[in-house]
Amino acid sequence: MKNIVALVILAARMVSAQDIAGQWPLPKSAREAYDFVQARQAAAEKLWEKKDRTGIDMLLATLSYLDLPLLRDLAAGDRNLAARRLNIEMELAQAYLLQGEKQKSLDYLRKTVAAEIYSLELAEFYERNAHLAPLRNDPEFHRVLSDLRRYRSFWDSPALKTPYRQNLSDAEKLAGLSQFWSEVKYNFGFPEKLLALNWDQMYLDWIPRVLATKSTTDYYRELMLLCARLNDGHTNVYAPDQSDLYAKPPLRTGLIEGRVLIREVRSPALEARGVRAGLEIVAVDGEPALDYARREVEPYQSASTPQGRENRTYWYGFLTGPSVKPVRLTLQDAAGKRSDVELARSGYTDVRSVPSFDWRMIQGKVAYVALNSFENDQLVGQWRKAFPEISQADAIILDLRINGGGDGRIGVEVLRDLAATPFLESRRRQREYHPTARALGTRMEFLYLPTTPIEPRPNGYTSKPVVVLTSATTFSAAEDFLVAWKSSGRGKIIGEPSGGSTGQPLPFDLPGGGSARVCTKKDTFPDGSEWVGKGIDPDILVRPALADVQRGSDTVLERALEFLRSVTGNN
């Protein structure tokens, strides 16, 4: 039997890769072609990793398949399919090296350079790849890496990454402003905003403003003012660390019914001094709190919506300042009694961290699950570990009210255990800039990236009620979760409209040690309706009540429990 298998393999090798490719089915779409090629690659990888040359033959046949006229046409209109060629050539380089054919391996690595894919990530992948370890001391291999990196300084030029000085030169200030202006003009995902703002005129208007600044800190504050005019929560300017603008006491604050309240105290040392949740901040350094916020904080906040700007003004930016300078607060309790307290902005050693994931049973058998951040991918493991116990609950509350985002894939993994049917993520639009097309008269092009259904996991929590709690702090990847949640039709959203901003920011350095980022894409609901710049509305609108916050009650959570009692019949 072994001899028969060997003869079959030998006969297959005698057939050219072109012949094999010619026998494979012709696809009806780029997606069908992509799936077919992916399957061939996966099968080949299992073979070549075992040093079976049949895997190489399969990869060569797949390259020939991609050379068919129909496949070339489909790849011309689909980036994912077009990228398969590069991926296969990378695999062939690894497979040939496992066979001891060093020169063929280098030949295929050279093909990735010839494809004009100049990528730092690709060079780093080659350096880390265990299969390519025998090449690490080879001069030709290092020439390949050097070629892949040759455009490194094109986008991240060290000429503009100058060190911090107390006051930058006029040339550095003008260069930084120009860099920010150009990155926004060519990469910002909302060019319609730039037209409305007359972005080029704003650039001209800001030149004398930045040149008039007397310090690097003041210079960056001018850049922040300019950035805030874009009204985008994922486009920001960050001052260098040496400017010392971002220190603040460990408090969460917010605007409730027109008053600034302490929502959470994260230091036992502050609590011991009588600083507690529910107290109103009446004044900051002797200035009425609202006046202070509107003068000192709000103008510098980049946000896509009014609720997003309010959140950044009265929480993220509120009370920030130099780490060595204390802030004096006038506090007032619910009875009207006032007191003054001076708080350090730094030096706290007892700050309570907020976990990304936390859960507990409340009101009998309701699972309260706090998804506070999607920054840490460990959340998926924590969720999966707790899910068997969570799934025993009569209902689930997912609290995303302080989730400022992170990685959207994390939220998808949570939703896969809750959705009963396939669901969709956001539809994405990004700009396509081609200088030659512009020269020929095409002024603006967009690429629309459709979303594909995501399958739920089997045996999920699908027959009992689930609700999601939101606020203006629910932002970015947390809003990506809300888009998918609405698509799933799984349950109600209760609370306040979300922050109204998501995107893929492009980061870059600025002179003097600061940095910035520019949002490069626009997201919509799967049907194309817009939510960026508006926020995602809850199904049941509930805002925190002043009296409830002052006495330590949670208005939104209580309303969610009331709703769940109405649908489950449990009291």
**pLDDT tens-place string over residues 252-268:** 999 999 999 999 999 99
pLDDT digits (tens, 9 = 90+) for 372-390: 999 998 999 999 999 999 9
Residue pLDDT, tens place only, 51-61: 999 999 999 99
Residues 6+ apart with CB under 8 A from 138: 102, 106
Q: What is the pLDDT of residue 25?
A: 86
pLDDT of 157: 86
- Residue 149 clears pLDDT 90, i.e. is over it: no
**pLDDT value at residue 123:** 85
Question: What is the dotted CATH code of the domain comprising 357-568?
Answer: 3.90.226.10
Q: Which helix (H) or strand (E) element contains residue 118?
A: none
Mean pLDDT computed over 108-114 = 84
For 272, other C-beta atoms within 10 Å of its C-beta total 9
Task: Report the pLDDT averaged over residues 288-302.
Answer: 98
Q: What is the per-residue pLDDT for 6? A: 39
Q: pLDDT for 207-252, tens place per residue?
A: 999 999 999 999 999 999 999 999 999 999 999 999 999 999 999 9
31-83 tens-digit pLDDT: 899 999 999 999 999 999 999 999 999 999 999 999 999 999 998 878 788 88
Q: What are phi and psi of 340, to 5 degrees?
A: -105, 140
Assign 4 a pLDDT band (cuts: 50, 70, 90): very low
| Residue 568 pLDDT level (bands cut at 50, 70, 90) | confident
Contact 253, 315 (CB under 8 A): yes
The CATH topology of domain 251-343 is: Pdz3 Domain (2.30.42)
CA-only gyration radius of the chain, Å: 28
**pLDDT computed for residue 353 by the predictor:** 94
- As a whole number of angstroms, the distance between CA 380 and CA 171 comes to 48
Which pLDDT band holds residue 571 (cuts at 50, 70, 90)? Answer: low
- Answer whether residue 8 shows pLDDT above 50: no
Q: Give the neighbor-by-neighbor strand order of the sheet with 427-432.
A: 445-449, 427-432, 521-524
